[in-house]
Amino acid sequence: MSRLEAKKPPLFISEPLTKDTVSQSLSLLSGILKSCYGPAGRLKQLHNGVGGYVCTTSQSSAILSRLSVSHPVLSVLTASVQNHISRFSDCGLFTAILCCSLVENFKSLNVASCTVIKISKHLLSLCMDYLKSEACGCRVSVDFSSLEALLCLVRSVLTSKPACMLNKPEVDHLTTLILKAFMFTVPCHVETNAVLGKCIIVPVKGRRVVDSTVLPGLLIETPDTQLAKPLAVKRTCSNMIKIALFCVSMSGDLSNPEEGTITVPYGISLEMSELNQLLNVGKQLVNDEVGLVVCQKVIHPSLKQYLKENHVITVDRAGLSLMEPLSRMTGSKPIASIHSLSPSCYGSLKDMRIEKFASKHFVHLIPNDTVVCSLILCNRNETAWDELKRACETAEHVLQLTIKEPLALLGGGCTETHLASYIRHKSCSLSTSSFKDIDCSRTQYQLVADGFCRSLESVACSLNHDDGEILTDMVYGHCWFVPSGFPSVSNWSDLVSKCGCGINGNTENLNWRLLQGQFGSPIIQGCPKDPSVKVADFLTLDCFAAKCSGLQVALETANLILDLSYIIEDQN
Amino acid sequence: MAFRDVNARRHIGLQQLSSLALAGRTLLGPMKSCKFIVDESTNQSTLICSAVRLIESLDLTSAAGQLLNETIQAQNKEFKTGMSTLLFLIGAWSNAVLECLQQNVPVSAIVSVMSEGLNSCCERVQCLQISTHDVNKELCSSSVRPNAFKSKTCQIGHDDLLNPQIFLHFQKDISAPEEVIPINSCPQQEDDCNFNKCLVSPLTGFGSIASLVKPAGDKSTSVISGSGVTASSCNRQKLTHSRYFSTLGKSHFSSQQGNFQGYLSGQCECYGLGHLAMTLSHGNQTSMKLLQSIVAYQQERAECSGSSRFNIAEIVTCCLLGLPESYSCVSPGFVTLVSPEQATVIKYFEDKPLRILLMDGDLTEQYRHLGFNRPCNVRTVLEHPSLQEVRAGDLWLSSMLDILISFKVNLVLVKGNVCENLMERCIANSILVIGSVTRDVLCAFGEVTSAQPVTYLTQLNASCVGSGAQVELWEACDGRAMDLGELVPVGIKVRGVPLLTAVLTTTVASKMQLIEDQFWTLVYRLHHALNDEKVFLGGGAVELLCLSHIQMLAEQPLQPANKNTVKEFHNPWLAASATEYKSVVLQALASGWKQYLSVVMCNTAKAASELEACTLVDHHLKKAAESGSPSAYILKGFRRGDLLRGGSGPFADHGEGLKVYDNVTAKTEAWRRALDSVLLVLQTDAEIITGPKRNQLLNSHVSSEFMFL
């Protein structure tokens, strides 16, 4: 007997942003994310509370993917930040913090949200135009003929993740490795549309970071039993190794279990017939002079034995993630069926050998033309290794984005404060006709612009986690840090040494002011200057594409959240 | 998601680390006091004597506890040594960092100064490294002084293990259980009343061990009670080969002279590894002697074949419960335990060479290789039932047996399990099948017999079967009958097989694991020493130099800020406040090693109290500083063998002590891992609890501690 239950009516919540719970949750989330930001950021232990794996991290990708938020407003925010991370890897925290700040700042303004949205869109276009213009004072162009700027980009990514537990020599070592790995993935012969290769991260946990290394080609882990003796590989007449790549299981089970039952008369073994089929494939492989068989899944021991007797090397359980790079590297087509085997599927390899790292044995496949490489990544324990892997992937992605658009933004909070200075300057000098276009008053515009600038500045302030002061200068609009323990009345020029990104030193009086705490008093800001010297040596640099996208995503998400007037919740 | 702030005033995570690590204090140094871990819910207890086993037995549900466990396991997996040091330093540095937080030192300053300080120390102590080659030479040069030589040189063979005096001496070294840690409560022994609550009375502790050893007979019980009597005095026991403590008690000296007779003459170079093993043994006589035998065997083999001198993959252990510890020895070949029924097969073998088969899976009808998915929708129909139908299982059994018989296989080594019925049929047909054999063993037999491991018997062809194996019942050195009840040790040999089995014996069941652990620790120490190609001076020399180096760093005037910044990556968010708090934080770093030294000195009874030990360390630090070159001072002390000694002790006049050495990488990695875990926890300001636990927390009484998103 079935029982019908009356459906509950949906729950309407109007003006969700005015609710206390929303603003509390939002400020808690904002607090968590701000505390993670930057090289001195605090870490979070993510775990299930019953003794499971503990993830210690300060990266937005790790935190947001495990965080379950209950409120729809927060879900909107986390979803759009995660989408940004999936496309750019970097600047996730920047985006999330800025978005929270924008919502909080705009909400407190006494301006209609539709006006806020219009003005903020105008402000965003000002920012984007400036960032894309030659005159932009907070970006540097990346010269791919020298290493400095590239090293800076990678180093900035690595040092901003303290849970990797790297010391200075280790950062230097990894920075070089990541760049080297990236260089391997750039094709030597560029045709009309060049495609970057791939860097595969091979885990070796428990080792020192300095034991990490990069090798061209691919590494596949294998149990060491079969590889005790030196490898004798069968080669073709052109001295290459012919390789067959299978993406279908060769374990000898019934490959595709479909619906229904198979009825077999007693005495006939399906396993045997499957195995015979496999052995036929083996015969053909031997006839075709294949020297190496790689299978994504498992190869039946009998087939392995047969191939071994015929001097064909087998590597099984290569895994799905290696198939695409393997096929690209060797020019072979993955074979998806053991019933039809076309000789055109075979690829070729230049060489192969056995490598040993820690207690693991690997088959090292070396291609003719290297666009695929393996980064053997070591770190002392699981948590730190996971964090380091994410950081390395981010760094590789940043380099890929930078080669498309060879620009970088100044890091260490300088871009944020510089942009804020620029907007403050611009918003004062805007013509009255512009206000008409936006349909707002000058005061409204100034209020929203101020909120926008304070949001940007609050991101820069989030870099500071111990007591101390954050300053900005009136000349370049950069961000400066003063350690705690000094009276705020003292002369700032005695206390600062270098700005956040490291481009400006304390050489002239730059007219510093406190970044926080002077709200209300209007700040008269000249147009921030471009630092005259642009040596990209030992600077903190951020990925241009990622930060620009972060800025846009943060503002658009904040606008979307401000625009929410109802939440309709299905209670069933 | 639930969210908890862990950084309120006193850092919860660091406190957890420090209290967990406290339980491992007595495991530090060569004189370890064993512990009983008692599970309050089941009343089962385990005897442990190492940090790994301690951590394995504790309830570690907190995030910091999990991290601690992960760190210890990682060190164990990589090195098999240095875990007690790691555990201790985690505790000591957690406490020191908590002190810094109390003094309002910013977290970023603690992190950067401590990690740079450790780096600097690791570089500094490189001058206390000595190449393993030089350790060998040291033996040659000291052999001119026969008196010193006799006490030092190693011996081969295991006759000396029979010496009752050594045996007794060893028994006492494994000191009586000192504390009982209830498994389900937080170990906090600092204040007395708490301590007493945790401590089940010693009598019940011994009671439980006495019940454990009952089947072994009266003798072993008396041994245990004997050590119970000496419990209070055993910390005063003088050690012979301790790295911390290198005096030789006169009585032991003479008793050892008696033992170390009839060695090698003049060939000291060849036995260099044996000497190295002794210097790394840190007083563990039994393991050392076994290792020396192994080294001697392998060296002999290496001279013939040119293979590597020490190969860890060729060593296996076999634990025999029920024989006195003096029966421990090294047997060439592979020794393992089989059932008495299997053992009966052996007498049919006599001395003829056997045909051997290796299998790298299970030997059962149901077993399929990894990755084989059983089809679930296949139905078998019998179309013409006949009367002589055999059961499917029997069919398999007889066909497998037919294969084995047709290839004339006598001996099957199987990596996994073996089907019971097949085992019986094999025994009836005089085929010995042994299961649960490790891969290294299979490989070793594969290499010398040219047998190819197979997964299924159906794969078998003539080239897969090897030949020339020999099986015999394993006998103790005096031919004592093996009446161990259920299992019988057998030895499998093939001419030229490189395998060596360390047969570990004890009459006390709860000590078996402990003895095996200690043996492997020593094996790995030698392995790492040879890999590193160098060793550290032991006896606290390295830690003392670290302390003196930190003293110098702290006194150093602050480096001019611009001197090095020109070509260095600039990071104002990390570096700015560091200089100000440098000396406070460096002191915190130093306190870890200072406590380490003093606890080791207390555990080895070189100092009556930690205070006394600290004073002694300070005294030496002062003298080292005054000498102008601390490293030279420490080196001199080490050579004289009176490092970290008061100078007025009863054996102060003793001549050259035994040199003790330590692993380089294992030690510095343990330091680094310890500091990393502490700093990782220090930088953590919040726990985020995900998953179903959230709702539980929301409704629990501690919900006020959490914030919910």
The tens digit of pLDDT for each residue in B9-42 reads 578 999 999 999 998 888 988 888 888 888 888 8
Query: Do the chains contact at B447 and A228, CB–CB below 8 Å?
Result: yes
Q: Evaluate whether A480 touches A500 at the Cβ level (below 8 Å).
A: yes
Nearest CA-CA partner of A43 in B73, B570, B679, B116: B679
Query: In which residue ranges of chain B is pLDDT below 70?
Result: 1-9, 138-272, 306-308, 382-393, 479-485, 557-578, 645-658
pTM of the model: 0.85
CB contact under 8 A, B680 and A35: no
SS3 letters for B329-386? EEEECEEEEECHHHHHHHHHHCCCCEEEEEECCCECCCCCCCCCCCCCCEEEECCCCC
Rounded-to-10 torsion of CA B267, B272, B273, B279: 130
Contacts of B107 in chain A (CB under 8 A): 40, 42, 465-466
End-to-end CA gap in chain A = 21
Those of residues 33-72 in B touching chain A at CB distance below 8 A are 60-61, 63, 66-67, 70-71
Residue B699 in contact with partner chain A when CB distance is under 8 A:
no
Task: Name the one residue in this structure whose structure tokens are 């409704």.
Answer: B699
Work out the mean pLDDT of chain B and round it to a whole number.
Answer: 76
Laid out side by side, the sheet with A360-366 consists of A218-222, A360-366, A351-357
A29 chain-B contacts, CB cut-off 8 A? 709
Contact, B71 vs A428, CB < 8 A? no
Name the stretches of chain A with pLDDT < 70: 1, 224-230, 255-259, 485-490, 517-526, 532-537
B107 touches chain A (CB under 8 A): yes
Q: With an 8 Å Cβ cutoff, is A25 touching chain B?
A: yes
Q: Cβ neighbours of residue B457 under 8 Å, at least 6 residues apart?
A: B359, B363, B400, B403, B404
What was the pLDDT predicted at B246? 36
Report CB contact under 8 Å: A162, B683: yes
Nearest CA in chain B to A303: B459
Cβ <8 Å between A66 and B688: yes
SS3 state of residue A354: strand
Output the DSSP codes for B108-155: HHHHHHHHHHHHHHHHHGGGGEEEHHHHHHHHHHHTTSHHHHHHH---
Chain A, 464 to 493: residues with Cβ < 8 Å from chain B are: 464-468, 480-485
Q: Which fold has domain A11-138+410-569?
A: GROEL; domain 1 (1.10.560)
Which residues of chain B make contact with A30, given a CB cutoff of 8 A?
A: none
Pick the residue of A165, A263, A482 with the most B CBs within 10 A to test the interface with B by mutation: A165
Cβ pairs bridging A and B (under 8 Å): 260
**Which residue among A54, A167, A464 places its CB closest to the CB of B119?**
A167
With beta carbons under 8 A apart, name residues in chain A contacting B2: 49
Residue of B nearest to A498 (CA): B572
Instruction: Please judge whether A49 and B684 are an interchain contact, meaning their C-beta atoms are less than 8 angstroms apart.
Output: no
Asked if B573 reaches chain A (Cβ–Cβ under 8 Å), the answer is yes
Closest-CA distance, A21 to chain B, in angstroms, reads 9
- Chain A positions in Cβ-Cβ contact with residue B677 (cut-off 8 Å): 381
What is the pLDDT at residue B185? 38
Q: Residue B317: beta bridge partners? A: B502
Q: What is the ipTM of this complex?
A: 0.92
Closest residue to A264, CB basis, from B116, B379, B708: B379
Contacting B residues, span 373-412, partner chain A, CB-CB under 8 Å: 373-383
Q: Which two tokens stand for residue A305?
A: 């034995």
* DSSP code at position B612: H
Q: A255: which chain B residues are within 8 Å (Cβ-Cβ)?
A: none
Q: Is B82 on the interface with A (CB under 8 A)?
A: no
Q: Do A35 and B2 touch (CB under 8 A)?
A: no
Measured between CA atoms, the residue of chain B closest to residue A28 is B709
Q: Does residue B447 sit at the A interface (CB-CB below 8 Å)? A: yes
CA distances from A435 to A448, B276, B548 (A): 13, 85, 70
Return the structure tokens found at A36.
């993670």
- Cβ–Cβ gap A380/B669 under 8 Å: yes
Q: Which residue type is seen at B437?
A: V
Q: For residue A568, list its beta bridge partners.
A: A12
For residue B680, give the nearest of A163, A297, A481 by CB distance: A163
For helices B664-682 and B512-532, give the axis angle rounded to 10 degrees.
Answer: 110
Inter-chain residue contact B580 with A38, CB threshold 8 Å: no
CATH architecture of A218-255+268-369: 3-Layer(bba) Sandwich (3.50)
Q: Does the domain formed by A143-217+376-405 have CATH 3.30.260?
A: yes
Sheet holding A241-246, edge to edge: A313-315, A292-295, A241-246, A347-349
- Residue among A168, A266, A298 whose CB faces B382 most closely: A266
| Sequence-ordered strand ranges (E) for A474-537 | 479-483, 512-514
Contact B690 A67 (CB under 8 A): yes
Q: Any CB–CB contact under 8 A between A248 and chain B?
A: no
Cα separation, B691 vs A307, in Å, equals 48
**Minimum CA–CA partner of B706 in chain A:** A28
**Looking at CA atoms only, how far is residue B282 from chain A in angstroms?**
26
Q: Inter-axis angle of helices B272-280 and B512-532, to 10 degrees?
A: 120
Domain ranges (residues) in chain A: 11-138+410-569, 143-217+376-405, 218-255+268-369
**Which chain B residues in 281-300 lie under 8 Å from chain A, judged by CB atoms?**
none
